[in-house]
Structure 1
């Protein structure tokens, strides 16, 4: 039985980002990440200084928490941190056998064989404002291992004009995948409704002004509804 380092398991709530925005889900948030984005809004699941809040659990224990939250099948979202650091293959197998589906978001820095088992895979390379650098060879490996390309979408957060230009280059590099944009909140410690709405309006204005008709703009729904509140 495999073990998993888990920051939190919560829900049911709704997915707040990307292709599945608004879909009811239970989140399994892993602990640990190979990135340190400058504007990270989940440092409690990234920085090891918070590891006293993380839990080392067996797959069966994580599955038990999921079933306690939703005893009937629901979408399970694997998040982080970077869930690619861990082995979720067994959890996915158990969940599928019970009728649950799985989504995962990762930056595309690490590929794992079990990526081809998830029902929805969101790859979210980090833009220049994150101060992280994408290794496209690693990103391509993530795409290669996800055999069902229809399950894959690409999502990029945009904080400024440089990020916006970079996002257009990324879509030109991967034109066959559904492509989502969302505003980036540079102040992860304080999010207000007006900030969320304003940043979304500004991103829409950018997209419309350049005639970028192949991208889908979405707000960070959870931030608009709940701000920085955890567990929702």
Structure 2
């Protein structure tokens, strides 16, 4: 566990694990060059977590909102003379980024308005306060959630995610990380019982990480989806194929 204070000043500073440009490995934006802002701290402890360096320990720095926004701008590489260049996407992840939602909202308001920000959240933080803070950007589709619903195989229990499903919009995405058939059946039941306006549903096979030594074969998951004719998107984490075994900076 962290041996030093792990608390940011809301709206003023972040606890940052790392910031880096990479290829988005998940969601409907998979394959796009994206600036990742990995924030430190999490409210959950999933058994298959692949970013424990952003959850526990001392691997973070407290940085001002302006400092973080400045580093994001550095990686954007925008070029007014060349429409084919310049990163358009920023992904806020963790840990659980919405633990620092006030600082995220302030950073978004200071960055170029054309950027699309994705918020990778575990679904257990009430979305309403952040929604209200970024209303203009969110109404324009520039702030989008990629929201997990925790399956039994994660070792965690979905609670607030069910209410958050009702708050999502068509631009948002819901992700189920699946370890086995039980998780698959759980995800199907949630989708049947809990309607959401999110237009993209991601089924992601778990890959070995942390306490998980064996992943779910993507071909097996594909077979289940085809047998049930589900309207979902099979989403392996492609960054783990591009950079196998690497946990940081991807």
Matched, 1:111 2:151: no
Classify 1:219/1:141 alpha carbon distance in 2 versus 1 (closer, same or farther; 3 Å). closer
Residue 5 of structure 1 is aligned with which of 7, 10, 15?
15
Q: Which residue of 1 aligns with 2:111?
A: 95
Matched, 1:132 2:132: no
Maintained 8 Å contact 2:23/2:31: yes
Matched, 1:231 2:249: yes
* TM-score, scaled to structure 2: 0.80
Residue 172 of structure 2 is aligned with which of 152, 156, 177?
152
Q: CA RMSD in A?
A: 2.2
Q: Deviations over 1:155-181 (max 9, x none)?
A: 111110110001101211225422111
Matches within 5 A, 1:1-232: 2-11=12-21, 13-47=22-56, 50=57, 52-72=58-78, 74-86=88-100, 87=102, 88-97=104-113, 99-112=114-127, 113-115=129-131, 116=135, 117=138, 119-136=143-160, 139-141=162-164, 143-144=166-167, 149-172=169-192, 173-174=194-195, 176-177=197-198, 178-188=200-210, 199-212=217-230, 214-229=231-246, 230-232=248-250
* TM-score, scaled to structure 1: 0.85
In structure 1, runs of 5+ residues without a counterpart are none
Structure 1 residue 2, shift from structure 2 partner: 1.2
Q: Deviations over 1:35-77 (max 9, x none)?
A: 0001111100112xx2x22011111110111122223252000
SS in 1 for 2:123: coil
Structure 1 residue 190, shift from structure 2 partner: 9.3
Which has more helix, going by share of residues?
A: 1
Q: Tell me how far apart the structure 1 counterparts of residues 185 and 31 of structure 2 sit (CA, whole Å).
A: 28
Q: Tell me how far apart the structure 1 counterparts of residues 60 and 166 of structure 2 sit (CA, whole Å).
A: 29
Q: Tell me how far apart the structure 1 counterparts of residues 152 and 159 of structure 2 sit (CA, whole Å).
A: 13
